[in-house]
Chains A and B, each alone.
Chain A
Amino acid sequence: MKKPDFFKRTVTISNTTYTKRVVIAFVLFAVLVTGGVYAWQWLNSQPKDDLTLKPLRKTLEANEKIFKGALDSNSRVKEYPISAAVKNVKVNGLVGIQDTIDAAQWRLQIIRAAGDTLKVSLDDIKQLPKKEVIFDFKCIEGWNQVTHWAGVPVKTFLEHYHLQGFEQMQYAGLQTPNKKYFVGIDMKSFLLPQTILCYEMNGKPLPMKQGFPLRLIIPVKYGIKHLKCIGTMFFSNTKPRDYWAELGYDYYAGF
């Protein structure tokens, strides 16, 4: 290993050269500081795209492209034993949630084309193969809870109702029956094996505040995407409207 020669890093220069160097360095430093301040002001003066500064929105979209590559059609999040699931599941968002829903009248409406809507009852959904998902649910606010859900995998559901053709589309859109809450989900995440149309929590039918009769559970995304009380499902190659993305959040919102 080379011996340190730090104290040999000396030069002898004239007083004028020294002064010149110091002045130039401080001028460049001032230029750098001014440039930084201007860059910050420029960024903050940019127009907004759904409440988020455009360059930052573009970066969020680029981040999605960079990170989504690591997801493949079989990606799974960690699952837990039932004993790890909490009994008191947090209720955090009630936008779009109604006080009562008549399960007998309720239908999941899948828009296949304009004027062509498939209507599926809760009983029919319950006939399909049931999958339990016990995972660490994460809210965009920062808290997390291991929770226990059950329902039919989205992929199984689509295949059963001959809707596989829509798997080629870019996005799926979901809305509550009153259309007050709505999300858009990229197809890759929507079709993952742990993404379920969920009708049970902790082995019992979903409580009203957890989205009775049917909600989305999509473990690779923040809670804002787990729409409660699904009314309508549709498919699109453009981004469906998304409640929280319109309020400034990342559209992808995935892990």
Chain B
Amino acid sequence: MKTVLKKHPLAIRWFHWVNFPILAIMIWSGILIYWAYAKYAISFGNLEIYHFFPRSFYTALNIPHRLAEGMSFHFAFMWLFFGNGLLYVLYTIFSGEWRYLLPNKHSFKEAWQVLLHDLHIRKYAPPQLKYNAAQRIAYTAIIVMGLGSIITGLAIYKSAEFGWCTWLCGGYASARLIHFILTIGYCLFFVIHIVQVVITGWNNFQAMVTGIEIVKPAKLPVQTEPILEPLPETPQPAIHEEA
């Protein structure tokens, strides 16, 4: 016999895995579009540290001269990206899953402790439910970023009909820059996410496919009250997911 925790509902697994290729196509087609006016760089005064993007990057990914193609993909897959994201948000609201996802008033302090723990500076991580505080912040931030991509996207794509979006973004050029920065944000999120998944291991990863994870019942924390303060002396719960 095995005791398993029903960790990820089917809907969340579905939205997660469907989003992955769609977001990848949005980023790829976005680069095809960005190439036509590729002016962003990180600079100190006149010293350019990094230009987005180097020629080798474009060559390797076969980016140049595909603006029209990029736009045709971007403005079709945007519907899937938006629809999948909207359904995910609605699902988390109506299923109650938002309780494990939204940061609470302790999350920002705890996220720091999680970071110190992950960096092997602190011995114990704060106790957690489904997700630790750093995850709550990251997984909520990524949804806010998605909303940001939609608003800045509309500000660029429909700057007349959605003039208020353009105004909200501080103008057309600013909307385009924020849209780009958010995309870089997704890429950074992806890198950290993959590193965390690899570190946390197979049992955690497979739960995103199967939904279930084996637990040792004796080690399940007894949860009577919402956890208020981190208890450094408490031994680690059996489940400790990072990603």
Contacts and interface: CB of A to CB of B under 8 A. Distances in A.
Interface stretch (A9-17, A165-173, A180-188): A9-17
A29 B212 CA distance: 14
B221 A7 contact: yes
B133 to A, nearest CB: 14
Nearest to A254: B160
Contact of A78 (B72, B158, B163): B163
Given A7-B223, A32-B17, A67-B158, A2 B72 contact: no
A141 B64 CA distance: 12
Contacts of B79: 59
B5 A52 contact: no
Nearest to A137: B172
A6 B4 contact: no
Contacts of B6: 9-11
- Please indicate which of the listed interface residues B1, B4, B163 has the most CB atoms of chain A within 10 Å of its own CB: B4
Instruction: Name A's interface SS.
Output: mixed
B27 interface: no
B75 A60 contact: yes
Given A9-B5, A15-B2, A254-B160, A21 B210 contact: yes
A10 B4 contact: yes
Interface stretch (A69-77, A104-112, A122-130, A152-160): A69-77
B140 to A, nearest CB: 16
B210 A26 contact: yes
A138 B158 CA distance: 11
Contacts of A40: 21
A10 B220 contact: yes
Contacts of A63: 75
A18 interface: yes
B17 A29 contact: yes
Nearest to A52: B72
Interface stretch (B30-38, B181-189, B228-236): B30-38
- Please indicate which of the listed interface residues B33, B223, B225 has the most CB atoms of chain A within 10 Å of its own CB: B223
Contacts of A10: 3-6, 215, 217, 220
A76 to B, nearest CB: 8
Contacts, number: 134
Contacts of A255: 157-161
B72 A220 contact: no
Interface residues of B, number: 52
B226 interface: yes
Contact of A2 (B36, B96, B209, B214): B96
Interface string A51-70: 11101110110010001001
Interface string B148-190: 0000000001111101000100011100100000000000000
A39 to B, nearest CB: 9
A53 B68 CA distance: 11
Contacts of A140: 36, 67, 71
B226 A4 contact: yes
B236 to A, nearest CB: 14
A138 B72 contact: no
A194 B217 CA distance: 70
A191 to B, nearest CB: 15
Contact of B226 (A3, A21, A26, A51): A3
A1 to B, nearest CB: 8
Contacts of B72: 52-53, 56-57, 59-60, 248, 250
A77 B172 CA distance: 12
B62 to A, nearest CB: 14
- Please indicate which of the listed interface residues A56, A140, A142, A247 has the most CB atoms of chain B within 10 Å of its own CB: A142
B129 interface: yes
Nearest to B68: A248
Contacts of A141: 36-37, 67
A52 B211 contact: no
A144 interface: yes
Interface of B: 1-7, 17, 21, 33-34, 36-37, 39, 67-69, 71-73, 75-76, 79, 96, 99-100, 129-130, 157-161, 163, 167, 171-173, 176, 206, 209-212, 214-215, 217, 220-221, 223, 225-226
9 contacts: A4-B99, A4-B100, A4-B129, A6-B130, A59-B79, A67-B161, A143-B39, A144-B172, A255-B157
